[in-house]
Amino acid sequence: MLLFGLLGFPLGHSFSKSYFTEKFTAENIDAEFLNFELNDITRMPLVIRETPELKGFAVTIPYKEKIMPFLDYISEEAQAIGAVNSVKVERTPSGFVLSGYNTDMPGFRDSLLRFMPHLPKQALILGTGGAAKAVKYALTSLGISVTSVSRTPSSEEIGYPELMHQLNKYPLIINATPLGTSPHTEGCPPIPYEQLTPDHYLFDLVYNPAVTTFMQRGMQHGANVRNGLEMLHLQADYSWKIWNS
């Protein structure tokens, strides 16, 4: 039996295992999907050595950036993004070779193109982690100017207090933070929600719960909303192709 999995910590919120388990059953694939919930990324090589059937695994918070030094090969796109969320495992007589890719980027891009009828000139990304980097790369590739928001902004970012009276400039707002993820569903980024209108599109990368507080507060002002479940499925399908190439 082939093995695939998900690396991250914690993993109680993730739907990846159920998605792939249902896929294997529906397509009659002799495989299993495991959760590798590691609180220390340095344990990852040992897990791979002890799991010889493992062919590939997805990477989620907080390891999309931290895993990169452990990889033997990183795709040009993942290098440019600065984050990896999919790893292919290949076995050799001398050990194993790990190749890193970023499928968050095309997963987000494809979902966004289905969500917005007309792409905006500017977008706001809330968060600066690995997922945010993939989103930024996707938006830039589509010709959209990006402003990133951080709790501790660098010279290339802005802080949340700077958003007062500015949301009208950004028709598209993406939550790329984990705020609002189950079980802490009450959380949401501290933006001035009262400035939102029906002309705004809010894309939340969080998919559990299906309707986040970020989305709820946007809907109260007529904003269009979407969660990250379709993106999850799309990036998973891209990963599946990589693991089996």
Share of the chain residues as helix, strand and coil, in percent rounded to the nearest 5:
35, 25, 40
Cα gap 70→152, rounded to integer Å: 27
- Report the C-alpha gap between 84 and 95 in whole angstroms: 21
- Residue carrying the six token digits 């290098």: 79
Asked if 234 and 111 count as a contact pair (C-beta separation under 8 A), the reply is yes
Please state whether beta strands 172-175 and 201-204 pair in parallel, antiparallel, or not at all (unpaired): parallel
Cα atoms in the 13 Å half-sphere on the side-chain side of 197: 9
Residues with catalytic function = 64
Distance set, CA 3 to CA 21, 82, 181 (Å): 11, 27, 27
Structure token pair of residue 113:
């193109």
